[in-house]
Every structure is written in structure tokens, then in C-alpha cells.
Amino acid sequence: MNESSSTQYAAQVAPGDAPGGQGETSVLGYVIGLVLASGLTAVSFYITRSTIFWPPSIPTALVVLAIAQMGVHLVFFLHITSGRDSTNNVLALAFGILIVFLIIAGSLWIMANLNHNMLPMDQIMKMQR
């Protein structure tokens, strides 16, 4: 294996995958992912409870930590890489995100429509008398 093919192969392997390309994963990769995810969760709780951070910056910090944790889960547990082998995983992930977006957007649309078409509370109370 020459230098260019080894670097090309390294770009297609997720952290924790076995270098043999058999699709096997090492326990070390899962442990590293678990430690990173637990650390990001602990930092999130620490940020919300401590008083050393500027209060308006806390939501931004939590969003950054959440995105980092999603990245850890995608790489270490779902093994999403730029390689050809993870095409089905990426498509399944995109479909799942689409379904979640449709459910949330549809629910918000329905609630906004109900709120717009509902009578004010004082008029409802007058109708019940």
C-alpha cells in the first residue's frame, strides 16, 4: 500500500474502525466516543450551573456543545464517514432528519392555525353561560 492509497483509505475509515476494512469496530473507538460524549454532557451541565460564564452566552455555548456531541455520535457510534461504505447510513440519517423536521413543522403549523382560529377566552366564557 503506497502513501496516497493509505491516506485515501484513512479518510474513509471512522475512528474506532478496524484498519482491516472488515467493518469491525474496536472497543477502544466506542470507549473514546463514550468518554467524549460524557465529557461534553458534563461540560454542558457545568456551564448551566456555574456563575463564571456570561449569562447571555450560555445558550450559544450549549448549542456549540450539542453540535459537537452530535458529531461525536455520528463519527464514533454511527460510523459516518466520507467513504463509499457509509452512503446508506447517510441516506438513512437524512431521511430521519426529514421525518423529524416534518413532524415538528407540521405540529407548529397546526398549533398556529388552531391559535389563529380560536375565539378569545372571554367570548368562549360568554358562550358557555
pLDDT tens-digit map of 61-116 = 999 999 999 999 998 988 888 778 788 888 888 999 999 999 999 999 999 999 89
Measure the CA–CA gap between 33 and 80, rounded to whole angstroms. Answer: 13
Residue 4: is its pLDDT beyond 80? no
DSSP 8-state assignment for residue 15: T
* 37 to 61, 90, 127: CA distances (angstroms): 15, 21, 55
Note the residue count of the chain: 129
* 40 to 3, 43, 57, 79, 116: CA distances (angstroms): 35, 5, 17, 19, 41
* Chain segment 29-69, per-residue pLDDT in tens: 899 999 999 999 999 999 999 999 999 999 999 999 999 99
Cβ neighbour number for residue 48 with a 10 Å cutoff: 12
